[in-house]
């Protein structure tokens, strides 16, 4: 399964914007919606081609409400995502999957403190079993562009994070 994750612009509620518009809502009805990151919508498609087609169907909305479009195709990489442009280039045969790992955009992933308060200082909710439930989701922060020259990636140093998300991008996206 190929996953498409749309991460919304900071000043809008992406889920609301997509589901409040008939055409976008119709495109999303056949999918089970997930939210892996703050202000995101993710769906699973059957292939890279279906993922690119899905994103193309929502293009009008992506320009207006989406900051980042990510595509995860496990047959290309288990742990790295693809940008929308790179996913399209691989689908169209312009880039071979094994040659897609040179240019990267690395995001920091901030996870909310699971036992304290949420990002607005509000206490977290208590789960049915009495444990603390975090109201906030992980958040993608400050992308860093890096070029892979060997097996090791440079360390993410834009802020202190415990985790990163690696996105493969096209040479044009890297240079732009």
Please tell me the chain's helix, strand, coil percentages from 3-state DSSP, rounded to the nearest 5: 25, 30, 45
Mean pLDDT score, 57-81 = 96
More confident residue, 46 or 149: 46
pLDDT digit string (tens) for 114-133?
544 444 444 455 544 444 44
Sequence-distant (6+) residues with CB within 8 A of 98 are none
> Would you state the structure tokens that stand for residue 16, as one six-digit string?
């609301």
- CA 147 to chain centroid: 20
Mean pLDDT score, 11-38 = 95
51 pLDDT above the threshold of 80: yes
Sequence-distant (6+) residues with CB within 8 A of 80 are 101, 104, 166, 167, 168
pLDDT digit string (tens) for 133-166?
445 899 999 999 999 888 888 888 899 998 999 9
């Amino acid at each position: 399964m190929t996953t498409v994750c749309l991460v919304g612009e900071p000043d809008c509620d992406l889920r609301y914007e997509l589901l409040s518009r008939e055409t976008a809502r119709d495109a999303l009805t056949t999918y089970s919606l997930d939210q892996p990151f703050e202000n995101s919508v993710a769906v699973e498609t059957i292939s890279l081609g279906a993922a690119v087609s899905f994103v193309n169907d929502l293009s009008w909305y992506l320009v207006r409400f989406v900051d980042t479009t990510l595509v995860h195709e496990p047959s290309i990489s288990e742990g790295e995502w693809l940008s929308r442009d790179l996913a399209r280039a691989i689908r169209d045969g312009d880039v071979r999957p094994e040659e897609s790992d040179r240019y990267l955009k690395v995001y920091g992933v901030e996870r909310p403190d699971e036992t304290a308060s949420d990002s607005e200082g509000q206490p977290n909710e208590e789960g049915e079993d009495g444990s603390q439930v975090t109201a906030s989701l992980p958040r993608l922060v400050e992308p860093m562009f890096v070029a892979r020259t060997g097996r090791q990636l440079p360390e993410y140093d834009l802020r202190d994070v415990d985790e990163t998300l690696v996105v493969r991008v096209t040479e044009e996206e890297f240079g732009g």
